[in-house]
Amino acid sequence: MDFPEKSVFCRIGGRGIDPGRGHYVVRIEVFAAVDPPEKLIYLDEEGDFQDKIDKLLEEISDTDPREIEDSVYKFFKFDICRSCQREYLKNPLGRHNIQ
């Protein structure tokens, strides 16, 4: 098949997708769940909010910024063909030994 210059390729099977036949989009968001209360910072009249922020910044100062970003939120978007869409829906997490 000869597709136009702006063709779409299936990110699972690698085949070109005919724009006239349509395709599917898989969107995945991975984000941090709300931490238990001991990790949350609360504004209170008794505590020093700036000290709490400074302590958190010190804790993460040696961490790669990408690692911090990935630990909070990550988004993926993949184009897939109809054939791969059917298979993907059977096992979206890619787990082995599904019964």
Distance from C-alpha of 47 to C-alpha of 25, rounded to nearest angstrom: 47
Do the beta carbons of residue 25 and residue 8 sit within 8 Å? no
Nearest to 68 by CA among 58, 57, 60, 80: 60
> What pLDDT score does 81 carry?
94
> What is the block-wise mean pLDDT of the chain (99 residues), using blocks of 10 residues?
67 89 92 70 65 84 84 92 94 81
H or E segment and range at residue 58: helix 49-60
Query: What is residue 98's three-state secondary structure?
Result: coil
Domain ranges of the chain: 8-90
> What pLDDT score does 39 carry?
57
User: What pTM was computed for the model?
Assistant: 0.62
> What pLDDT score does 59 carry?
84
> What pLDDT score does 35 carry?
63
